[in-house]
Amino acid sequence: LFRSPQCHYHIGVACCQLSLALEAREASGAQVLQVEVIEREDYRRRAAEALHEARESEEGQKRKPVEGSGRLPEAPWLETDQLMVKAMAVDASSLGRTNGYGNQKPVPRDVRLPPTVGWRIFGWRT
């Protein structure tokens, strides 16, 4: 099955948002089932892989910003994309903060998407 870099990008964005939503639910103190923890980690891993695939593709490399070119950043190289890559590079269970009693409490992370998020596929019929 052929997937375009644009498809990889959108899968990465979606999996990132799903992973962060599950992470936020866990951080809020809601009871989380072990299957949800596994699902969150699976979304995180899939997001990291898909975003990496989009960036490393031939089309992704053509869109990579070159310093001094004057070109505006484009997906998959937007600031938001970099935040997603960083967020998905680390397992949320390794994050936390000490609450004064020596206990770790997960700190929810959030990557807000701009209204124009996406990478258009030109040349496809709609």
pLDDT in tens, 67-103: 888 888 899 999 999 999 999 997 655 554 444 455 5
pLDDT the model gives residue 123:
65
Distance CA 35, CA 81 (A): 27
Which pTM does this prediction carry? Answer: 0.82
Token pair of 67 as six digits = 């310093």
CA distance 123 to 93: 42
Quote the CA–CA distance of 101 and 114 in Å, as a whole number: 38
Using one digit for the tens of pLDDT, what is the confidence trace for 12-38? 999 999 999 999 998 888 999 999 999
Mean pLDDT of 60-65: 93
64 φ/ψ sector (left φ>0, alpha ψ -120 to 50, else beta) = beta
d(CA 80, CA 112): 8
| The pLDDT of residue 95 | 54
At residue 97, the pLDDT reads 45
59 three-class SS? helix
